[in-house]
Amino acid sequence: MHYSPAFSFTAWPAPDHDMSNPTPATPYGTLPAASPLPARKPVSLPRLAELRERGEKITMLTAYDATFAAVADAAGVECILVGDSLGMVCQGLASTAGVTLETMAYHVESVARGLRRVQGTAWLLGDLPFGSYHESKEQAMRSAAQLVHAGAHMIKLEGGDWTADTVRFLVERGIPVCAHLGLTPQTVHALGGYRVQGRDDQAALTLKRHALELQDAGATMLVLEMVPAALAAEITQQLPRCHTIGIGAGKGTAGQVLVMHDMLGINLGKNPKFVRNFMDGASSVREAMANFVSAVKSGQFPDDSLHAW
């Protein structure tokens, strides 16, 4: 079943794309020339709140370069995350902990340029990497400003209540913030591996408390990674002003995110249980991404019996 989006987006290139002035072909792959303004209005915080209000799931994929970002936008993905997962999927690092702010800014800028080039409308998030916000609120502000200068609309940072003051500081200064709880890959060594978080009563209570504190601090999005489905659904209910985006957190969150390489089936390792390969049955990357959007919107993905705990 194909979901018909409330914010319709034009085919890429748009049907009425002016082909009399196409971008000259190059041997390196070419983004299409600027097309007439797309039908989907730019995704913004009020638009995301509207989606949530009417019970429509928010979709997010990671992208790290101009072309894949443009394809994801054209496929109808609302939010594009330049995640520090790029350290693993682009740079071949063993974990995300080695990613630097300079690298993040470079990729955010590439993605922002790609979106601008196709008049993309997606909401662009940039991840603050390990060490770039841990010292002080002021350090976090300087780091966030670099990603905003590179084109990010929102920054994401990992961690519980210890980040609340930083979140408040950034939000008060006009930077929308997405928090990240559950499995926080930057601290995978402290967590003892890529394991489900919040499983016992005490851990679940702590996670709920942190989520509420982050909403109170002004976070308007919260990634919940590898958290039991029932707990993620409960947290979602408790956070009306902060949209939960799940990854391995069941279908009860306000939206879903996957790492692009995982959902395209090109992960070099073993895919985690919460991933579906959307290239299965798709004839293009764009179709795979559009299938992800429809599956999330229609409630077919994730399937809690397969992809959740």
Catalytic residue set: 225
Distance CA 209, CA 191 (A): 19
Q: Going by C-beta distance under 8 Å and a sequence separation of 6 or more, which residues neighbour residue 306?
A: 273
Which H or E element spans position 213? Answer: helix 201-217
Residues 74-103 binding ligand KIV (CB under 6 A) are: 81, 83-85
Q: How far apart are CA 45 and CA 27, in angstroms?
A: 38
Structure tokens belonging to residue 169: 């500081």
Whether 59 contacts 76, CB under 8 Å: yes
Binding status of residue 127 toward ligand KIV by CB under 6 A: yes
Q: How far is the CB of 229 from ligand KIV (least distance, A)?
A: 17
Looking at the Cβ atoms of 14 and 288, the one nearer to ligand KIV is 288
Binding of residue 247 to ligand KIV (CB under 6 A) = yes
3-state secondary structure of 79: strand
Residue with the shortest CB distance to ligand KIV: 83
Of 31, 179, 257, 264, the one binding ligand KIV (CB under 6 A) is 257
**186 forms part of the interface with ligand KIV (CB under 6 A):** no
Provide, rounded to whole angstroms, the least separation between the CB of residue 189 and ligand KIV. Answer: 16
- Which amino acid, one-letter code, is at 147? L
Interacting residue with ligand KIV among 259, 290, 295, 296 (CB under 6 A): 259
The residue assigned the tokens 């799931």 is: 57
CB atoms within 10 A of CB 119: 17
**Nearest distance in Å: CB 52, ligand KIV:** 18
Shortest distance in whole angstroms from residue 178 CB to ligand KIV? 9
List Cβ<8 Å contacts ≥24 apart for 258-266: 258/61, 258/62, 258/292, 259/61, 259/62, 259/83, 259/85, 259/89, 260/61, 260/62, 260/63, 260/64, 260/68, 260/72, 260/89, 261/89, 263/61, 263/288, 263/289, 263/292, 264/288
Among 35, 62, 67, 197, the residue binding ligand KIV under the rule CB under 6 A is 62
- Residues 220-239, mask of contacts with ligand KIV (x by CB under 6 A): ---x----------------
In whole angstroms, the minimum distance from the beta carbon of 83 to ligand KIV comes to: 2
* Of residues 25 and 268, the one with the C-beta less far from ligand KIV: 268
How far apart are alpha carbons 272 and 302 in whole angstroms? Answer: 13
Q: CA 20: distance to chain centroid?
A: 36
Nearer to ligand KIV, 14 or 257 (CB): 257
Least distance between ligand KIV and beta carbon 247 (Å): 5
> What's 97's DSSP letter?
G
The footprint of ligand KIV (CB under 6 A) covers: 62, 81, 83-85, 127, 223, 247, 257, 259
